[in-house]
């Protein structure tokens, strides 16, 4: 796993996750309609970014996408939970779904 690419991809994903979470805290439409799909798309983008930056093997790219996608989601969901916008079980299910989305993004990144 490439630490520099992981830091950049996770940081970019986290910035987008936080923007979505904070917007959703104040705008009900975002909270009700964007959180789930938007969060997974952000994690997919983080995984894709990791694969493009790392330029490594398939296993390395997929594992980096998993970590980048899952970690940025976990941190974003933790903030959302702290704001009382989501129940605690979303920390588990949202992170797992976003980690899978990160792997898919990394696979797309490798194919491109």
Q: Which of 14, 85, 78, 86 is nearest to 50 (CA)?
A: 14
pLDDT in tens, 54-75: 988 999 999 999 999 999 999 9
- Whole-number mean pLDDT of the chain? 97
Are the CB atoms for 10 and 68 separated by under 8 Å?
yes
Q: How far apart (Å, rounded) are the C-alpha atoms in residues 110 and 57? A: 9
pLDDT in tens, 72-112: 999 999 999 999 999 999 999 999 999 999 999 999 999 99
Q: How far apart (Å, rounded) are the C-alpha atoms in residues 39 and 15? A: 11
């Amino acid at each position: 796993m490439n630490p520099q690419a992981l830091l950049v991809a996770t940081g970019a994903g986290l910035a987008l996750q936080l923007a979505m979470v904070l917007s959703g805290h104040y705008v009900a439409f975002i909270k009700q309609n964007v959180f789930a799909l938007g969060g997974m798309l952000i994690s997919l983008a983080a995984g894709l970014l990791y694969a493009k930056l790392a330029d490594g093997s398939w296993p390395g790219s997929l594992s980096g996408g998993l970590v980048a996608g899952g970690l940025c989601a976990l941190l974003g969901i933790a903030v959302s939970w702290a704001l009382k916008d989501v129940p605690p079980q979303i920390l588990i299910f949202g992170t797992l779904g976003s980690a899978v989305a990160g792997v898919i993004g990394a696979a797309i990144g490798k194919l491109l």
